[in-house]
Amino acid sequence: MRVTPENRRGYAKGRARRTEILDQAMALFGEAGYRGASLRTIATRCGISHPGLLHHFPTKEALLLAVLQRRDDVDDEWLALGVTRGVDHLRRLTDLAELNAKRRGIVELFSVVAAEATSPDHPAHAYFETRYRTSVANTERAYLQARDDGALRPGTDPATAAQQLIALMDGLQIQWLISDCTTDMAEVLRAHIRAQLTVEL
């Protein structure tokens, strides 16, 4: 197919529409959960009909997975996985908590859908299973590197510390959401990590 100005406009429009759908879907999945969100509501917020939405994403399930995948891509890039290491990586995680405190929608999305997805038949079950495994593994690697750098307090087990840190982040998000954002997630996280280190965070 020849690339004419019309074609380019058409593709750009389609991409913009897809992005708008993903944004609105993220917000509603966060507010109402996957089960509680309806395609009609998402579509209306985008100014289209719900069969119009299904033209871009064939099923509700595909839409959810696209939303989750996009958020992960953005956050993984922001975390600079593979670049930062050791204590730097741990600090980066507290920075992420600080950033998340300005993005209620994203925090809602992951908190609510992760809880839903503990059911084995939930469409995002496998996604979150993998996500937790890799999150804990990445964090354990950071603790191991911190130990190699002599920054880890003796008696701190990297594997246990990794499970703790990921659990703490998730639990704090729930508290932050239910307490109407009065919990200082980043500061509570930093206090936890500081107690594990022999160096400044």
Partner DNA sequence: CCTACCGATCGGTAGG
Write the binding mask 50 to 69 for DNA: x where contact by CB under 7 A, - elsewhere. xxx-xx--xxxx--------
- Contact between 6 and DNA per CB under 7 A: no
- Contact between 36 and its own copies per CB under 8 A: yes
Judged by beta carbon, residue 52 or residue 75, the one nearer its own copies is: 75
Helix/strand/coil percentages in the chain, nearest 5? 75, 0, 25
How many amino acids of this chain bind its own copies (CB under 8 A)? 45
Q: Tell me which of 13, 35, 55, 103 binds its own copies, using CB under 8 A.
A: 35
**Contact window for DNA (CB under 7 A) among 31-39, 80-88, 154-162, 167-175:** 31-39
- Out of its own copies, DNA, none, what residue 112 binds, judged by CB under 5 to 8 A for its kind, is its own copies
Q: 186, 187, 192, 189: which is closest to 100 by C-alpha?
A: 186
- Contact between 195 and its own copies per CB under 8 A: yes
23 DSSP β-pair partners:
none
And the tokens for 179? 């307490």
Q: 88, 80, 106: which is closest to 169 by C-alpha?
A: 106
The residue written with tokens 């750098």 in the block is 149
Cα separation, 130 vs 126, whole angstroms: 6
Q: Tell me which of 80, 137, 191, 199 binds its own copies, using CB under 8 A.
A: 191
* Positions 84 through 113 that interact with its own copies (CB under 8 A): 108, 111-112
Report in angstroms how near the CB of residue 32 gets to DNA at its nearest: 9
DSSP notation for 58-116 = SSHHHHHHHHHHHHHHHHHHHHTTTTS-HHHHHHHHHHHHHHHTT-HHHHHHHHHHHHH
- Out of its own copies, DNA, none, what residue 199 binds, judged by CB under 5 to 8 A for its kind, is none
Write the binding mask 123 to 162 for its own copies: x where contact by CB under 8 A, - elsewhere. --x--xx--xx--x------------------xxx--x--
Q: Which positions touch DNA (CB under 7 A)?
A: 13-14, 17, 37-41, 43, 46-52, 54-55, 58-61
